[in-house]
Amino acid sequence: MAKDTVRYPDEVVEEIDTLVDDGMFESKSEFYRFSAEYVLSLINPEHDVRTFNFEEIKSELDISESDHARALGTDGGTFFLDAVITVRKQGLRGNYEAAERFIDTHYEATDQECIVLEELLGTYRNGTE
């Protein structure tokens, strides 16, 4: 097995410590191994999981197939495409306020994605004027 050194923000480590202390994971190593394998399986459904007790841990965490699919999103894992689809639907229907609420609740005003979504919404607004 290879060994990697990774730095995490203190807040992340504290949350992981809490999960271990609560017995959700046996150790920090188990958490990190499971997390890495889980993300790899999200990205690549063909990934050959090698972590011991992966499925058992997954079932104990109650991660269902629908949770797994929801984590991926309709575009295979990019929430932004889902956001574009949502804003487009609302824009086509003239539900501009609903689209604005969606953008405001999911993005900071200075995020690049927010700016792009607002521009997209603007094209639907301008098209009806």
Q: Where are the domains of the chain?
A: 10-65, 78-127
Q: What is the pLDDT of residue 115?
A: 92
Q: How far apart are the first and last CA of the chain?
A: 63
The stretch 13-25 carries a mean pLDDT of: 93
| H-assigned helices in the chain | 10-21, 28-43, 54-60, 65-72, 79-92, 96-106, 112-128
**Rounded Cα–Cα distance for residues 112 and 109 (Å):** 8
Q: What is the mean pLDDT of the chain?
A: 85
pLDDT band of 61, cuts 50, 70, 90? confident
CB 45 within 8 A of CB 65: no
